[in-house]
Amino acid sequence: MSDIFPKTFSPIKLGNIELKNRIIMAPLTRQSSDDDGTPTDEMTAYYARRARGGVSMIITEGTYTEDKFGCVAYLNQPGCANEKHISAWKKIVDAVHENGSKIILQLMHGGRVSDPRCLYENESPVSASSTKSNGSVLYSDTDEEMYNRGLKPPWPQVNFPKAKEASKEEIKLIANGFAESSERAMKAGFDGVEIHAANGYLYYQFIDPKQNLRTDEYGGSAENNARAVIEAVNLVRQAIGDKKLISVRLSQDGVDDFEGQWPDGVKYAQELGKSFSNSKVDCLHWSSFDWKDNKDVSSNTPMSKIIRESSGLPMIVNGGISDGHDCEEILTSDSGDICAVGRPLFAHPDWPHIIRSGEKYNWIEFDRKYVIKPTYDYSYGYPLDLKKSNWNPDLMIRKQK
Ligand SMILES: Cc1cc2nc3c(=O)[nH]c(=O)nc-3n(C[C@H](O)[C@H](O)[C@H](O)COP(=O)(O)O)c2cc1C
């Protein structure tokens, strides 16, 4: 095999973690945990298979930190909230390590876009401000998919309720929940954690100026908007020490705002980057569907490059990376230090080997069939049977604490 992508396949030290190459697996929600958030054997097989496929590190799917404050965002989302979760994650971590990859746990709080069926009776979702998302639970993507899966219209829709503004005390308790969950993650053997502040979830709701309408120290400027997540980072650092990795994931768009952009675009990104420069984070992670697109007409510079420069921190770049040429371009243009790949790894667990060979492969567009119940034979990626969940939209699933 000729090494046509030398930077991509060169090692790097991220925080105190040695990575064998620059390709990592982006976090991808699968909703395949047990109903109580316990990771399953199917997940062990799924992650181990992708570790064997040659990535240097895996960022897990978004995981809830604790079963309170409306933290749980999805049905069958995994948690890292108790001893049972720790034991199940340990199996996954051990299998991934045995297959030559590092693994960090992505921690998230759903905020105003948590599936309301995950809330307890009379519980309101929390957010930076009292706002209501116009989106609905990502249950399906297209009519075509509905027909592929043999379902009949109307496709059920679950809307988000109005959120209440998190009090300062709640902000601290939630950050504390991230720290406690990180400690549990260390017991499971993870190499670090990623704090999810992207894609529409709670900490993104603080960072996005369109959603954060606060006038106290948690709103009103990039520095203030970043405060809640930076407080979480610093508490997590105290909990897990200096040897483990902490990443923070950022984005402009979210699950209820796929076209989303920051009002001040690049200028806001620069300010935001600066806010992280004195925090205890090891690296930032830029998430998008096209890593080159900054959605700001005044500049052609990728957002990851802007934030990398202003923060002075190593940058993981994600979004539409389709081959080794994309990776080399990211790494040689100073747009980032690591490439995070999502959809291609759903369908092609051996993606790093495939692109290293230089052979062409078929990009398989994302489809919920990868998440819920594959209608086609993806047994190479899904070694065990997926269980069938009861996701009736009319059911209020969790009535009691
Ligand atoms: C099915 C699916 C699930 C996802 N789940 C998560 C998640 O749990 N956490 C997260 O930060 N991003 C999540 N993402 C976003 C991806 O990490 C990534 O940003 C997106 O797929 C674009 O990257 P790609 O072009 O390499 O696929 C998800 C994306 C998809 C398609």
Residue 191 located in a structural domain: yes
380 is catalytic: no
359: buried, middle or exposed (CB in 10 Å: 19+, 13-18, 0-12)? exposed
Q: Which residue would you say has higher pLDDT here, 150 or 297? A: 297
Residue 144 located in a structural domain: yes
Q: 344 pLDDT band (50/70/90 cuts)?
A: confident
Q: Per the structure, how many domains does the chain have?
A: 1
What the block records as the tokens of 125 is 């979702």
- Residue 3 is predicted with a pLDDT of 80
Q: 373 pLDDT band (50/70/90 cuts)?
A: very low
Residue 3 located in a structural domain: no
Instruction: Calculate the CA 206 to chain-centre distance.
Output: 16
What mean pLDDT comes out for the span 63-87?
96
Q: Which residue would you say has higher pLDDT here, 392 or 106? A: 106
pLDDT (tens digit, 9 = 90+) per residue, 121-161? Answer: 889 999 999 999 999 886 554 555 556 556 666 666 788 99
Residue 370 Cα: closest atom of ligand 1: 1
Ligand 1 contact, 106 CB (< 6 A): yes
Q: Tell me the angle at which helices 222-240 and 168-187 cross, rounded to the nearest 10 degrees.
A: 40
Residue 382 located in a structural domain: no
- Residue 45 is predicted with a pLDDT of 86
Return the residue whose CA atom lies nearest to atom 19 of ligand 1. Answer: 287
320 three-class SS: coil
Residue 62 Cα: closest atom of ligand 1: 8
The contacts of residue 391 (CB under 8 Å, 6+ apart) are: 75, 139
Range of the domain at 222: 12-370
Nearest to 364 by CA among 344, 386, 383, 382: 344
Please give the model's pTM, rounded to 2 decimal places.
Answer: 0.94
**How far is ligand 1, taken at its centre, from the CA of residue 221, in Å?**
27
Ligand 1 contact, 318 CB (< 6 A): yes
Residue 6 located in a structural domain: no
Ligand 1 contact, 135 CB (< 6 A): no
Residue 324 located in a structural domain: yes
Residue 135: give its domain's CATH number: 3.20.20.70
DSSP 104-115: EEEEE--GGGS-
Q: Are 160 and 125 in contact (CB under 8 A)?
A: yes
Mean pLDDT value across the chain: 89
Is the model's pLDDT at 54 over the cut of 80?
yes
pLDDT (tens digit, 9 = 90+) per residue, 195-217? Answer: 999 999 999 999 999 999 999 99
Ligand 1 contact, 289 CB (< 6 A): yes
Q: Say which of 46, 47, 74, 201 is annotated catalytic.
A: 201
Residue 2 located in a structural domain: no
Residue 212 located in a structural domain: yes
